[in-house]
Structure 1
């Protein structure tokens, strides 16, 4: 059985404890990152949508960094949106700042009707550099 090791970023925010989940799990040479949202340190949502998306990406980068990864190591992305059609332009403006060059990761976008007070969530799978 493959060992699972939790990854905890610096400045761990309240949502991990409140909802009892790991920011990410390292398993072999893969990192499975839980859905990251645009939350403040106390777990409350950022109300401004573009800023909420940016904060979700910032939280994602912090989790990746805690595992020794970068966005270049991301191979698969899943995003969740409460109003995809209305939010797409703002999302793409933020996304393009984080994933600037090809090859881009796989990406699946899912429209949902509830994200616990948030409007955007991003989860990824990354390959850990140098892991065997």
Structure 2
């Protein structure tokens, strides 16, 4: 395997090409996933916040799966929220439903003032199981 290669999900949404970035880069046994938002197939935001957060996780999980990994292999998670104080009670239950079992990854949550029309973004670094790393 090259020192790094790009991983695309099976059905990538339009934002990757529109903004010219890779969904994830696999390197040295780790997957560095770009921030994932609740983008519909055409790249537009899912308007309902809870559904937007779930779609962000769905988009994230599609990338992890394409690399032969899963959220259970996440080691570092960063959350970005436009209005954490107002939205936390909506975001947290969706996050918990997708979080899995112990051992949990570490997490950093950051309030930001712009996410290109989205209210939530999740960025992950995940380990790729050895079997998948050789594929």
> TM-score, normalized by length of structure 2?
0.94
- Tell me the distance in 1 between the aligned counterparts of 2:99 and 2:12: 24
Deviation at 1:25, TM superposition (A): 0.1
Cα shift at 1:100:
3.0
| 2:18 corresponds to 1:18 | yes
**In 2, Cα distance between equivalents of 1:35 and 1:100:** 19
SS in 1 for 2:116: coil
SS at match of 1:101: coil
User: Does the CA contact (< 8 Å) of 2:72 and 2:100 recur in 1?
Assistant: no
Residue-pair matches, total: 131
Tell me the distance in 2 between the aligned counterparts of 1:89 and 1:27: 35
Question: Which position in structure 2 is the counterpart of 1:43?
Answer: 43
Distance 1:83 1:17 in 2: 28
Q: What does residue 7 of structure 2 align with?
A: 7
Tell me what 2:84 maps to: 84
- Are 1:102 and 2:108 counterparts? no
Query: Are 2:41 and 1:59 equivalent residues in the alignment?
Result: no
Q: CA deviation at 1:92?
A: 1.1
> Gapped runs of 5+ residues in structure 2?
none
TM-score (norm 1): 0.96
Cα root mean square deviation, aligned: 1.1
